Amino acid sequence: MDEAKLHEFMGRLVTDMGGAAMIANVILGEELGLYRAMADNTPITSEALAAKTGCNARLLREWLSAHAAAGYMEHVAGQFRLPPEQAMALALEDSPVFVAGGMAVLASLFLDKDKMVSAMRGNGALAWGDHHPCMFGGTERFFRPGYRAHLVSKWLPALDGVVPKLEAGATVADIGCGHGASTVIMAQAYPASRFVGFDYHTPSITTATQRAADGEVADRVRFVQATAKDYPGQDYDLICFFDCLHDMGDPVGAAQHAYQTLKPDGTILLVEPFAGDHLQENSNPVGRLYYSASTFICTPNSLSQEVGLGLGAQAGEARLREVFREAGFTRFRRATETPFNLICEARK
């Protein structure tokens, strides 16, 4: 037993335990509007924050102190301040780095622990719709800041010839659309095009339909309950998979259906969690987040469906290329990337 290594590992565990406990506090603060109440970066006492938010002052002092200890806030002479950088991540919903809303996904990991125990001891299946409902809205809010920041400005322009088609008026399918964040963002950017989002989870389709109305694009956007292998329509110019192909039981079958419903010169936009091809390349902060979430969410969902391929969220570009090659596509390339996403293009 190497005592130095033990100390080093215990230090990492205590850091992670504190991190996990902080995430619970972030979820609390987000739901209660505490960060938004501090978004002006002005120092505030726990009593003043209590008066502003209607929350209990003593509990707020503990919550604020946790934030000061974690470096999430500054603390001077009894006053706490949320610095502008932390406000971008925790308070400002429209910021490209807003992460507080997506933390609900992490809450669902704990809330669904008993279901995961059963899945682990059984056939490995836990379907998307069987998770705690906080996962659905959390997923939307986890991904939306990235789509807002990159989808229209960088990802679509990285595809060969797609933007001119969208500007002229294209027909687009968004498969596994969830709450439709990507669909609505694209529809708002390209008013001449028509969009249809498909997802097999009926409550998500209901929410997505509401999002289209809220986003004032309901005249050109429809959401329909369907699986990735049976959605209707033909001759789509663009078929998108945003952070969902690896969740499916039969990604090859989904890619085959996309092949059959795509125009001959159409394009597949595949957005997947960023990953290298091997565990060694993914042994980093983003990789551990995605492998951990994939254990609870993506892989058991895949195992709950026919074929049950279980790609996992860290499949990597080489495995994804293989899926599209098996489905008949002849061209596949990485169009661009972010620290969180691989953006790939497939053509017939």
Find the helix or strand (DSSP H, E) in which 129 lies.
none
Among 30, 112, 199, 317, binds ligand SAM (CB under 6 A): 199
* Least gap, CB of 172 to ligand SAM (angstroms): 13
Interaction pattern, residues 88-127, with ligand SAM; x per rule: CB under 6 A: ----------------------------------------
Residue nearest to ligand SAM (CB): 178
Interface residues for ligand SAM in 158-197 (CB under 6 A)? 176-178, 181-182
Scanning 60-68, 110-118, 135-143, 257-265 for contacts with ligand SAM by CB under 6 A, the matching segment is 135-143
Please tell me whether residue 305 binds ligand SAM under the rule CB under 6 A. yes
Nearer to ligand SAM among residue 243 and residue 345 (C-beta): 243
Phi-psi region of 337 (alpha: psi -120 to 50; beta: other; left: phi over 0): beta
Neighbours of 344 (CB within 10 A): 24
Q: What angle do CA 280, 286, 289 make, to 5 degrees?
A: 100
Query: How far is residue 90's CA from residue 331's CA, in Å, rounded to a whole number?
Result: 40
Among 247, 272, 317, 345, binds ligand SAM (CB under 6 A): 247
**Sequence-distant (≥ 6) Cβ neighbours of residue 3 within 8 angstroms:** none
Residue tagged 């997923």 (tokens): 139
Please tell me whether residue 244 binds ligand SAM under the rule CB under 6 A. yes
Residue type, 298: C
What is the sign of the dihedral through the CA atoms of 271, 329, 334 and 252?
A: positive
CA–centroid distance for 229 within its chain: 22
Nearer to ligand SAM among residue 44 and residue 255 (C-beta): 255
Chain residues binding ligand SAM by CB under 6 A are: 128, 139-140, 143, 176-178, 181-182, 199-201, 204, 227-228, 242-244, 247-248, 301, 305
